[in-house]
Structures are given as C-alpha cells and as structure tokens.
Structure 1
C-alpha cells in the first residue's frame, strides 16, 4: 500500500505561488523607503531616468538583492510546510 502524500514533502503550484508572493511582499516591505525614493525620482521622467535616478535605482536594487535571497525563500517555504503538517496532524491525529 502506498504512503499518503505528506504536505511536508509536496507543495502544490498554488502553494508555490503563495510562497513567491509572500517572498516578494516581505522584500518590498523591507525595501519600501528605497522603492519610494526611486519612484519619486522617476516620476515625470522617461529616458532621463537612467542617469537622473541612478543612485536611487542602485540603492533600491541593492536592498532587493539583500532581502530577496534563496534562504529567505526557503524559510517561507518551510513555514508553509510546517503549517500544512500541523493542520494535517490536527485533522487526523494518531490513535494509540
């Protein structure tokens, strides 16, 4: 008889999408000031953004690279898997 799929090992495409969205949300929250500074600088500009907002763009991208890491993504994924495992255990507790 095959083992049931464990939520700690398998995530649906919907779960993965949720993880990516949370990762992006957390990153944007951490870098909010840098994103706003770049947005303010770029307002009303077209081609001149490249040189006029170079410093703000670099600062924003440095922040995003700092927080948008594989380790953070893995931590969010692990948290979701732990939550799913807990729900699974509550839904079908082991009987002695």
Structure 2
C-alpha cells in the first residue's frame, strides 16, 4: 500500500507581507500606540460622536431605541477610519515622538532629584547614599528600550543591572 507524499497534504502558506513597523513593542508601548490610534479615529468622527451624545443626553436605557440612527452613523464612521493603515500611521507617530518623550522623562527625573535634594537640605536630612544616586543617574540616562532584548552570551541580565 502506497503512502501519500507528505508534501501533497501540506497546505500552501500565504505570502508573508512585510510590516512597515517591524520592531516589537512592549505591552505598555502598544497601549500608547493604541491611544494615539483611538484619538485619531475619534477626532475624525467628532461630529458624529457629538450628534450621538446630544441625542443620548438625558436618556438612560431608552437611548438605544431613540438614538439608533445617530449610533449607526457614528459606528460606521469609526469603522471607516479604523484601518490598518491608520494604525500604522499611529505607530509611526509614536516612533517620531520617541525622543520628545525621552527628553520629557529626563526633565521630570532631574526635577525630582533637585526637589529631593532641596527637601533634604531644608529638613537637615543626611545626603543620599552616593551609590544609590549613581544608580538613579544611570537609570535616567538609559534610553527607552524598543525592539526587545539583545541576544547573545554577553547580554546583561536585569538582576545584574540593579
């Protein structure tokens, strides 16, 4: 009895479409991208959203009955603008504003250190341990990680960094 060739039973794979944004992001970074995406979609459909909100104002469970037409218009507008291309452009905007976010983070961290130093002087508290202060400065100077961890034997573990 002849066995069927295994290659004849395999399904062909769909073609791989290269992504415009190949770097993997962390969950919090993806959430930031989603926030940008949702804000863009809401801004494009702001008139429809306002019309539905105006209709639903002062109603409770009856809003679903009385405002079904404005709700349908609002949802169709949002479906029209919630496209993968829009999500890609939101991701590109997130990457474009990356350096701006890094500068803002550094500014806030420096301000925090200055305020803590001032309060220690004001209340006569001892200075912060030099090693702790050095680690905080190193942590502040590290950039935002995008694209995962580097692979290889020379990779430092998180436990070693702290």
Would the TM-score normalized by the shorter structure come out above 0.5?
yes
Q: How big is each residue's C-alpha offset from its partner over 1:39-70, in whole Å with a ceiling of 9 and x where there is no partner?
A: 01001112221221111001100111011122
Residue 37 of structure 1: aligned partner: 51
Conserved in 2, the CA contact under 8 Å of 1:42 and 1:53? yes
Q: How does 1:38-53 map to 2 (within 5 A)?
A: 38-53=52-67
Using a 3 Å threshold, how does the CA distance of structure 1 residues 71 and 34 change in structure 2: closer, same or farther? Answer: same
d(CA) in 1 for partners of 2:68 and 2:22? 43
Consecutive unaligned residues in structure 1, runs of 5 or more? 1-6, 85-90, 92-96
TM-score computed with the length of structure 1 as normaliser = 0.69
Number of equivalences: 80
Higher helix share goes to which structure? 1
Q: Which has the higher contact order (CA 8 A, sep 6+)?
A: 1
Alignment root-mean-square deviation, CA: 2.4
Look at both structures and tell me which one has the larger radius of gyration over its CA atoms: 2
Q: After TM superposition, which residue ranges in structure 1, 4 or more long, deviate above 3 angstroms?
A: 78-84
